[in-house]
Amino acid sequence: MSLSNTDVKRIAHLARIAVSDEEVGATLDKLTGILGLIEQMQAVDTTGVAPMSHSQDVSQRLRPDVVTESNQRELLQSIAPAVENGLYLVPKVIE
């Protein structure tokens, strides 16, 4: 797929990226290289290759899901400036 300078300016506009007229040529070269790499990867025969989420066959070590902290709600709310019905009250900041 080949791009033109007009395509680069349109892509930059859609991506909300400011690209000056001097940068269009360099950006065109970079985008052409990226698209060429994508074409090379799409040309590779991947039949028989199972999709994978990680490049190595690893598994996450998990810990037991148990509560390790005690409930300190009453203690923490006792030092709060304003509490009502178990909720912290904060000053209104938007009028």
pTM exceeds 0.95 for this model: no
Using the predicted structure, report yes or no on whether residue 57 has a pLDDT greater than 90. no
Using the predicted structure, report yes or no on whether residue 48 has a pLDDT greater than 80. yes
Q: How much is the average pLDDT of 3-12?
A: 93
- Check: CB of residue 82 under 8 Å from CB of residue 88: yes
Per-residue H/E/C for 19-79: CCCCCHHHHHHHHHHHHHHHHHHHHCCCCCCCCCCCCCCCCCCCCCCCCCCCCCHHHHHHC
Q: How much is the average pLDDT of 67-94?
A: 92
22-37 per-position pLDDT tens digit: 999 999 999 999 999 9
Write down the pLDDT at residue 50: 87
Using the predicted structure, report yes or no on whether residue 7 has a pLDDT greater than 90. yes
- For residue 34, give the nearest of 44, 22, 26 by alpha carbon: 26
Distance CA 4, CA 28 (A): 7
Domains annotated on the chain, with CATH: 5-42 (1.10.20)
Could you give the count of Cα atoms lying within 13 Å of 43 in the half-sphere of its Cβ? 6
